[in-house]
Amino acid sequence: MEDGKWVHRVLAFRMYLRVRNNKHRVALTHAVLSGHALAMEQMRWSERYKPQVPKKWRLCRFCKDHLEDAIHAMFVCKQSLLVEIRNAFFEKLFKTHPELHGVYSDPGLFFKDLLVKEKVIGLLGKLAYDVFEVFYSEPMLVISPALYIPPNP
C-alpha cells in the first residue's frame, strides 16, 4: 500500500513466500494461485471420459450450498471441524491483532489483506494447510453427468 492506495506490482516478492513451514507455505501458495484440489479448480478441466463441470455445480463437499473454492473452505464453510480450526485461527489472530476484529464483512477481502501482513502470514499458512487437509480427507461432491449436458467443443 502506498499513500493509502493499493499498488499491484507484477514482479514483487510476495509475503506468503516467507512462511517458514514448508507444508503451510505450499498450502497458502495453492490457495492464492488456485493450485488446490478443491472442486472449483479440479472440475473446471475436462479430462478423458470426464467432461468439464459447470461452475454453478462445483459445490462444497460438506455444506453442498456454496461453490467450493479456497475462500469458502477457509472462511465460510460450516462443517464442524472447519469451524473449530477457524475459531482457533481467529482466537490467535485477534489476540495479537485486535484491530482486525469486526472490520471485514467480505472474506475474500479479509484474505487479501491478511496476505500482506507479515506478522500473521505464518498463521494464515497454518489455516490453509489445516483446512485443505480436512477437505482432502473427503471425496469431492460430483453431481451425476446425466443431470447436465457438457458444452459442445
Task: Write the pLDDT tens digit of every residue in 64-98.
Answer: 989 999 999 999 999 999 999 999 999 999 998 89
Q: Looking at the domain assignment, is residue 69 inside a domain?
A: yes
Residue 146 domain-assigned (yes or no):
no
Share of the chain above pLDDT 70, in %: 85
Rounded to whole angstroms, how far apart are CA atoms 31 and 43?
Answer: 16
Three cell numbers, residue 40: 472449483
Per DSSP, the chain holds a count of helices (H) and strands (E) of 6, 0
> Is 1 a member of any domain?
no
Mean of pLDDT over the chain: 86
Q: Output the pLDDT for position 12.
A: 60
At residue 11, the pLDDT reads: 57
* pTM of structure: 0.82
| H-state helical runs in the chain | 22-33, 39-42, 70-75, 80-96, 107-115, 121-136
User: With the CA atoms of 142, 148, 59 and 65 taken in that order, what torsion angle do they form, in degrees rounded to the nearest 10?
Assistant: -120
**Does residue 52 lie within any of the structural domains?**
yes
Q: Which residues contact 39 (CB under 8 A, 6 or more apart)?
A: 53, 58, 59, 60, 61, 67, 68, 69, 140, 141
CA distances from 76 to 9, 23, 52, 142, 143 (A): 29, 22, 25, 20, 22
**Within a domain: residue 83?**
yes
- Farthest-apart Cα atoms in the chain, separation: 54
Q: How many domains in the chain?
A: 1
What is the C-alpha end-to-end distance of the chain, expressed in Å? 43
**Does 6 reside within a domain?**
no
Which of the pair, 20 or 109, is modelled with greater confidence? 109
In-domain check, residue 116: yes
Which residue segment(s) compose the domain that 133 sits in? Answer: 15-138
Q: Is 80 exceeded by the pLDDT of residue 2?
A: no
Establish if 145 belongs to a structural domain: no
Angle at 42 between CA 41 and CA 44, to 5 degrees: 70
Q: Per residue in 53-73, pLDDT tens?
A: 888 889 999 999 899 999 999
Model confidence at 35, pLDDT cuts 50, 70, 90, reads: confident
